[in-house]
Amino acid sequence: MKITDASVCPYPAGDSTLSRMALEAAELGFDSIVAVGDAECRAGGLNVLRGAVISASSQKEVIRQVRKPAIRRADVVFVNAGDIAFNRAVVTVKEVHVVRNIHAAQRNAFDHVAARSAAEHGVAVDISMIPIIQYRGTRRQRALQRYADILALQRRYGFPLTVSSGARSILEQRSVRDVGGLCALFGMTGAEVSEALSSVGRLVEPERPVRVIDE
């Protein structure tokens, strides 16, 4: 069982190199990370997967984008959440692994129909630490409620969850213990956090092998 930060954004998208973020992740208790963007995969001894993000307004556009070479090379394909019709449709696209930015979608944009379909197709919903750490006031409470709603659906239908820091520098990375504490704010148990942190490996194997990057 590999404990994975499902999304970090190293240089040039972020401020820290992938090698530095990988070292930090290892020190914080992670076994692997998903690096989003065009960073070169160079990290000592840590499992590094390449992530690609699709932003689209229709299922047809998602299907068009997953055919692009840059997306096909990715180990983990994310799609930014949209409205209810989009989310219901996108979880049926076989190349999609994770629906992310669910906290930014309208309430009920991911409903029981999308949840059941996600479970059937093995598509995960990402829980990003960004809104919990960086947002304040009503905006933060809204994100926490959104995550609580997703958690209730997950408990009922059993689709996978992933957990990501979304870190753009080593200063934004969090330890496995800290992630557990943050997820407890919207009701996740320790066992549920552990399950979510280890779900990336199950999403990509055996179809796409994890690359082990040597020093």
pLDDT in tens, 121-179: 999 999 999 999 999 999 999 999 999 999 999 999 999 999 999 999 999 999 999 99
Flag whether pLDDT at 119 surpasses 90: yes
pTM: 0.91
**What is the overall mean pLDDT for the chain?**
92
Query: pLDDT band for position 209 (50/70/90)?
Result: very low
* Other beta carbons less than 10 A from residue 194's beta carbon: 16
pLDDT in tens, 71-108: 999 999 999 999 999 999 999 999 999 999 999 999 89
Query: pLDDT band for position 208 (50/70/90)?
Result: very low
Distance CA 185, CA 187 (A): 6
Q: What are phi and psi of 127, to 5 degrees?
A: -105, 105
Flag whether pLDDT at 213 surpasses 90: no
Q: Which residues have a Cβ under 8 Å from the Cβ of 71 and sit 6 or more positions away?
A: 52, 54, 65, 77, 95
Distance CA 30, CA 175 (A): 8
pLDDT in tens, 15-67: 999 999 999 999 999 999 999 986 555 555 689 999 999 999 999 999 999 99
State both tokens at 23. Answer: 């070292």
Query: What is the signed CA dihedral for 22, 99, 112, 176, rounded to 10 degrees?
Result: 10
Distance CA 41, CA 4 (A): 16
